[in-house]
Structure 1
Amino acid sequence: MIDFEPKYITFDCYGTLTNFQMGQSARELYGDKLDPAKMDEFVEFFRGYRMDEILGAWKPYRDVVVNSVRRTCERTGVPFDEATALKIYEAVPGWGPHADVPEGLSRLASKYKLVILSNASDDQIHSNVGKLGAPFHKVYTAQQAQAYKPLQKAFEYMFSQLDCNPEDVLHVSSSFRYDLMTAYDMGIRHKAFVNRRHEPLNPYYGVNEVSGIPQLASLLGL
């Protein structure tokens, strides 16, 4: 059990709640240009460049995706076409939740105020949130914060908007690199790692590991 009553439960969205399909989209668009091993390499480079693109000054998420595809194409010798890269960005609003999410969120929403802090653009995120099956108290984006996670500025924006402190929230994510390491550094004591199998558990950061959102609800007595 989690022996804590948060003022807010704050969530990462893409990957944690929404089924993140950036790699799959890349495979669909570039799979006919590379053999399977090279395609796996392409997806990994694309993942790394997306992280690299968000660590500086804020830029629109469209540019993050397109720049990451361009750099990946240059790295792997695949011809770059901006219109093809944009198809990956344009697919984002159609992504739906992981199968466990609507049930778990509806249980949590019966008692707690739910908040999203997402590396998203304002013109896309609400389509994804609308598919999650539960009401959210607030939805904050990198565009609003003018900073992407893992930068602390993104979390600071959320705390300022909510008028609360790090110790008031339970932060939930499937990513240590984007969320949970920064949450630890900021003094967020209560954290949950949703193990979606795209990052390994790292116990050093003091998280409650759960397999899905229903298990999180159970740990909170719901």
Structure 2
Amino acid sequence: MKLKSLTEFKYMTFDVVGTLIDFECGIKDCLARIADEAGVDMDGEQALTLYRAARYSEDADLFPDDLVRVYLQIAPKLGLPAEMHYGERLRDSAKDWNAFADSADALARLAKDYRLIAMTNARRWAFEYFARELGNPFYAAFTADDTGTEKPDPAFFEKVFDFVASEGNSKNDILHVAQSQYHDIGISRELGMTNCWIERRHAQKGYGGTIEPAEFTKPDYHFTSMASFADGVAEARK
């Protein structure tokens, strides 16, 4: 089947944490401050590896509330004090996580021609901070609280399909944009969506704080930043 042009979509759906918001730096920075206070040397990439293993356990809670549990689990392995208030501090740090430097500008450019929809596994309270950090560019937003589930559960995507259908459109009118192969790119392919992979860690080894997929999915579109994606869209629209 012929690949749809970037100009043919009415909607762009976006993963938020990891694609638009730099959660890895947010987590590492908060843990580094705790480590400094405790007089401990900490390896940021090791912290992400431990975070990933702890985050994707069977007893995980919704994000970022789950960071309290995660912190208490990984703190001893990092030599950090395993105290509840530090876990709560890590959770609350989500309110101050920065967007990637190119996110807000790229979204503002794209919002001129497309309806932008946020699709995040974060809870609504955290998303409100993320949206503000991004300049509130979204036409609609779906969080874990709204869907009752998390990506890559197809039910999350179905909620968005239903919303788009209520406006007389279909999933064929959506380009799904995300950095996570596990949460987004693989399942969007299975559901018949056109997708775009933003490979944020293209200059780094491994999957960082994101779970590794069982198998790699070649995306329909591939960029290494939101800036280059927005440039690609602008070029296609000339």
TM-score by length of 2: 0.78
- Trace 1:135-214 onto structure 2 (pairs within 5 A): 135-163=137-165, 164-188=169-193, 190-197=194-201, 204-214=217-227
Secondary structure of the structure 2 residue equivalent to 1:15: coil
Structure 2 counterpart of 1:23, from 28, 49, 53: 28
Q: How far 1:112 sits from its partner (Å)?
A: 0.4
- Trace 1:42-191 onto structure 2 (pairs within 5 A): 42-52=47-57, 59-73=61-75, 78-133=80-135, 135-163=137-165, 164-188=169-193, 190-191=194-195
Secondary structure of the structure 2 residue equivalent to 1:80: coil
RMSD, aligned α-carbons: 2.8
Q: Could you say which residue in structure 1 is the equivalent of 2:212?
A: none
| Alpha-carbon contact 2:181-2:217 (below 8 Å) kept | no
| Alpha-carbon contact 2:186-2:216 (below 8 Å) kept | no
Change (3 A) 1:42 1:33: farther
Q: How far 1:62 sits from its partner (Å)?
A: 4.7
Deviations 1:149-206 (A, max 9, x none): 2222222222223325433211111111221122122221x21111211656x87432
Secondary structure of the structure 2 residue equivalent to 1:61: coil
Change (3 A) 1:149 1:53: farther
Change (3 A) 1:170 1:61: same
Change (3 A) 1:42 1:213: closer
Q: How far 1:26 sits from its partner (Å)?
A: 2.2
Change (3 A) 1:53 1:115: farther
- The residue identity in structure 2 corresponding to 1:130 is R
Secondary structure of the structure 1 residue equivalent to 2:72: helix
- The residue identity in structure 2 corresponding to 1:72 is I
CA distance in 1, matches of 2:131, 2:221: 24
| Alpha-carbon contact 2:10-2:173 (below 8 Å) kept | yes
Total equivalences in the alignment: 217
- The residue identity in structure 2 corresponding to 1:192 is C
| Alpha-carbon contact 1:184-1:205 (below 8 Å) kept | no
Structure 2 counterpart of 1:9, from 12, 29, 37: 12
Q: How far 1:139 sits from its partner (Å)?
A: 1.1
Secondary structure of the structure 1 residue equivalent to 2:119: strand
Deviations 1:194-221 (A, max 9, x none): 1211656x87432322122232223223
Q: Could you say which residue in structure 1 is the equivalent of 2:210?
A: none
Deviates more, 1:24-33 or 1:139-148: 24-33
CA distance in 1, matches of 2:122, 2:200: 20
Change (3 A) 1:166 1:52: farther
Q: How far 1:53 sits from its partner (Å)?
A: 5.3
Unaligned runs of 5+ residues in structure 2 are 208-214
Secondary structure of the structure 2 residue equivalent to 1:52: coil
- The residue identity in structure 1 corresponding to 2:112 is S
TM-score by length of 1: 0.83
Change (3 A) 1:150 1:49: farther
Q: How far 1:77 sits from its partner (Å)?
A: 6.5
- The residue identity in structure 1 corresponding to 2:110 is L
The percentage of counterpart residues that share the same residue type is 23
Deviates more, 1:65-74 or 1:103-112: 65-74
